[in-house]
Chain A
């Protein structure tokens, strides 16, 4: 099992979600986050005074998937979240030791 964490542009969320559902990935957790990478925030003018916006709004998607589907999921994420501009986000991949469904204590791949 792998955990895939993707930080994407908020306006891409619907497209990414549709694409993932399209390949049969329908379990995911979505949160609104703030942060920056190489994009490093941007300047905004507020009441005539320039100030630095350090943290930019992003959306984080997390999903746990069978390892065999990792390539396909990453490909789909990249294709659907991509605009080509700086700030498109990142994808992180983790190994998952186990998964447990709380309601009935199912374990492993059956629980995801």
Chain B
């Protein structure tokens, strides 16, 4: 069975059925007491004859006289009860005609619902009075109502972060949903104009809503992952969501356009001020009410280059296109497409756009008007393309634009952790290359098969050749696209303190200039995956990866190095047996603090410290070594709901160990409840001494369900002997759950492996854990790897 079918017959038949119930109930309970002076009117969606299977039924009971309202109390209760007993969810209002024709400050939705009214039963002449008076009232209050509708809409949009891009959208409320469709419709009605034709989008959303209602048996408008899969069939959800988003985008644009048209028409001081700004107008364009108009309406035909000048104007001054300008562009798209396809030296003009302050607005306007697609057919392939991994929130085109926006916002950032990247950006001579690379870096995803990078380079090559880009720029951009995942692959999943990591990175990136550009592209690319993807931890790791590669490229020597022999005897004792990397990766102050912990450990058997740096927590534990110790400590942290990001284990010749864990506190438990820090520390100490059972602690944490039935992650395990000089690297991809790290670490322990460093990254419900392990101080031989693989797979 095709799950989505035309909603119209369903809506019509439910409306008809409900009509009958309401009319019958009126007949039975209201007519006997009030044969005249009372009418039952369908309003809102019911008035439009668009009742979805479980939507509310908006009923207006209209009275002629105020006094009758009080007298009707009992009859009204019986009438409503009858409707409730028929399983209708009634939203009733009881009013006189005069009350319907006044503005309800606190309940503007009521005024709006009266835009759609339909007589059902009772005194028809009374209803006609309403039908007669209402248009005059609405006309008089038009501007007022439009303004309030605008306010309501903006409040609703901001509840959904002002974006149509949601992994599981509410198809009624999110921007681009049914409410926006109705908004456009109400605005047209208030202004007495024809609404924009959005028939396809309407039909699509209506059938989706119908499906959701029928399937869940209630007024459910949330398009969950499961629902998406059910509608689209196996494997088809990404394509189907692409279709959904195209419709949503069209509705959202139309709604916002019609909202903004009305708001600009007041003759206020502000409007006058805006018109005064028109002095930026030039020979080609004028600006009125913050919108750009063409001076010569037919300019694109003889002079297609006007289009590029138009967007340069937008990028320079930050004004959006007037509806009229958009229409003219749309009319001339074939002309522009042909002119662009002919190629030529377009790059200087494009480069200028990409380096002006309002580049993001200009690109968005180009995208919306279809000019970006006309200029780069490569871009059209990723238009609204959905990446369905429950982690990427935006479509590929939006992701590319958000990435460029992230870069632009870097210039004004106040955040100290981001200032470092802003300083890098200031070093870049021609940021246009960065923007261009970001614009096309994922175009290869449009082909849908295999690794996208190669395909993206091919696409970009064709585009760059067509627009006449000089060879040097082309080379730089090709490098950026080719390596745009290098840094992100290393930063959270390789030990950046390992010289081998830095050397490999530097070997690929070649020059400091390329490293700077690539760091910025990586920063923008990760930030644009979803609003929370760039965590403080990832930000720090990216910076460390940059520093490591930079040091390697400039052959800068490590400055933080202490001489064990020069240390006092007690300290030397503590350091004896630690790997060299311990000295390389810790500052003198850190080592001194560790030494203090170790001293306390000698007395108490264990000592732990929890501190916070750059938004990430650090746990350091000194204790006597024993089997499963590392796994137990990791388990204890998980049992507090903490996410471990990186862990390192060091042991000295005395048989004492020092374990450090970097972890995030996603629920902000430690920050909001200072006593919890002590409880965590005490628990860790008890676990280290074997006085608390980690399995018991972990049992209290529930395993989260995967986002949808199809989303279960199949575990994979990979071994790498090349990435590090002294250890084998084991990369495990598995479905995330509390205690996963505990189980994995236990499996390593059981196989007699020694864990040196662990790095953990999570993308939605996918955990990527990388272990640097040794066995008897050496890398693992193939046989040990095979045994380990079996053990690890058993716990994934």
Contact = CB atoms under 8 A, between A and B. Distances in A.
19 contacts: A23-B220, A24-B218, A24-B219, A24-B220, A71-B705, A82-B667, A83-B672, A84-B667, A84-B668, A84-B669, A84-B671, A84-B672, A84-B673, A85-B672, A85-B673, A86-B673, A86-B675, A86-B676, A104-B85
Given A84-B667, A85-B673, 13 more contacts: A23-B220, A24-B218, A24-B219, A24-B220, A82-B667, A83-B672, A84-B668, A84-B671, A84-B672, A84-B673, A85-B672, A86-B673, A86-B676
Contacts of B676: 86
Interface string A1-43: 0000000000000000000000110000000000000000000
A77 B673 CA distance: 21
Nearest to B665: A84
Nearest to A84: B672
A52 B145 CA distance: 54
Would you list the 10 A-B pairs with minimal beta carbon distance, nearest first?
A84-B672, A85-B672, A24-B218, A84-B668, A86-B673, A24-B219, A84-B667, A85-B673, A24-B220, A84-B669
Contacts of B85: 104
Interface string B108-146: 000000000000000000000000000000000000000
Interface string A70-112: 0100000000001111100000000000000000100000000
A104 B82 CA distance: 12
Contacts of B219: 24
A12 to B, nearest CB: 15
A86 B676 CA distance: 9
A83 B671 CA distance: 12
Contacts of B220: 23-24
Contacts of A86: 673, 675-676
Best-buried of A82, A86, A104 by chain B (most CB within 10 Å): A86
A86 B673 CA distance: 7
Interface string B215-251: 0001110000000000000000000000000000000
Interface in B650-684: 667-669, 671-673, 675-676
A86 B85 CA distance: 43
A104 B84 CA distance: 12
B173 to A, nearest CB: 9
Contacts of A85: 672-673
A98 B381 CA distance: 56
B interface, how many residues as a size bin?
10 to 19
A82 B667 CA distance: 10
Contacts of B671: 84
A95 to B, nearest CB: 19
Contacts of B672: 83-85
Contacts of B705: 71
A104 B673 CA distance: 50
Most chain B beta carbons < 10 A, residue from A23, A24, A71, A82: A24
Interface in B61-103: 85
A84 B641 CA distance: 12
A82 B673 CA distance: 13
A15 B772 CA distance: 47
A84 B669 CA distance: 6
Interface in B355-385: none
Nearest to B87: A110
Interface in B167-220: 218-220
B393 to A, nearest CB: 18
Nearest to B668: A84
Contacts of B673: 84-86
Nearest to B220: A24
A73 B483 CA distance: 45
A84 B671 CA distance: 9
Contacts of A84: 667-669, 671-673
Contacts of A23: 220
Interface centre among B672, B675, B676 (most CB of A within 10 A): B672
A59 to B, nearest CB: 21
A111 to B, nearest CB: 12
Contacts of B668: 84
Nearest to B89: A26
Nearest to B224: A72
Contacts of B218: 24
Nearest to B675: A86
A83 B669 CA distance: 10
B180 to A, nearest CB: 18
B550 to A, nearest CB: 38
A84 B705 CA distance: 22
A24 B669 CA distance: 30
A9 to B, nearest CB: 13
Nearest to B222: A23
A104 B86 CA distance: 13
Interface in A60-78: 71
A101 to B, nearest CB: 10
Contacts of A24: 218-220
B219 to A, nearest CB: 6
A60 to B, nearest CB: 23
Interface string B527-566: 0000000000000000000000000000000000000000
Interface in B687-735: 705
A31 to B, nearest CB: 24
A103 to B, nearest CB: 8
B54 to A, nearest CB: 9
Nearest to B673: A86
Contacts of B667: 82, 84
A76 B419 CA distance: 37
A67 B671 CA distance: 35
B172 to A, nearest CB: 11
A82 B669 CA distance: 11
Contacts of A71: 705
Contacts of A104: 85
A108 to B, nearest CB: 14
A72 B465 CA distance: 53
Contacts of A82: 667
A21 B137 CA distance: 33
A83 B675 CA distance: 16
A71 B219 CA distance: 18
Nearest to B173: A22
Nearest to B170: A22
A71 B667 CA distance: 19
B55 to A, nearest CB: 11
A67 B756 CA distance: 47
